[in-house]
Amino acid sequence: MTDLTDQVAIVSGASRGIGKAIALLLALQGAKVVAVARNEAELEELTQKTRGLCIVADIAIEEDAQYVVQETLRHFGRLDILICNAGVGSFNELEQFEAAEWDRIFDTNVKGTFLLCKAAVPHFKAHKRGHIVGITSDVAKRTFAHGTAYGASKFAQDAVLASLRKEVRPHGVKVSTIYPGLVDTYFNDTTPGSPEAEKTHLRPADVAQAVRYVLEAPAHVVVDELMLHPLTQEW
């Protein structure tokens, strides 16, 4: 079992929802958390609880992604874990989508994952260790009406992580992909906590526990993929 005490973990999309739950749980396990998001106020509130570092950044901008990793290394002197969690989505018939909205989804979900990994991988390779965890979605494995943009972005994000897994495994670096089903968050501008969602959706803390599970696997074990659903969701 891998001890997370004093391990340095970057968590993107950490200001709310799944990312916030991951940051809080990792801090509880003794990790030093670098919380990354665009909302400064929410990040500062989170950091008061994690006692880690917060970085306001847009991970879809290469300079920001590089800065996140560089500032982490400057502040802590090491980097052990990268959680690529930031994600956005909207749903409509294909012909109703604006190109700008398509780009917004792909910039965060795919380009953001690519840029953060690009910034962190050289450090991981040099030290022959490190763990990247990508939070994708079960729609990386299925399709549905009105999900052209979001679904395509999650298929692409999954492909980035799967290819990277093969590239870095010989260097002692792990890549794990987590595919949650329905989660009760602020996703797609919804407000969490409705009585119906409490019956039919996962909680962010459920996904955070999945992240903890893959990170705490023994050093010789990598959990390549992990999918989780609420019991009420058909798959």
Residues noted as catalytic: 150
For the beta sheet containing 32-37, the strands, ordered from the edge strand earlier in sequence to the opposite edge, are 53-56, 32-37, 8-12, 81-84, 131-135, 174-180, 225-228
Sign of torsion, CA 4 179 204 148?
Answer: positive
Run of H or E including 21: helix 17-28
Beta pairing class for 32-37 and 53-56: parallel
Contact 11, 83 (CB under 8 A): yes
Query: 131: number of CA atoms within 13 Å, CB side?
Result: 25
Residue 177 tokens, joined: 């992909």
Contact 72, 8 (CB under 8 A): yes
Q: How far apart are CA 10 and CA 33, in angstroms?
A: 6
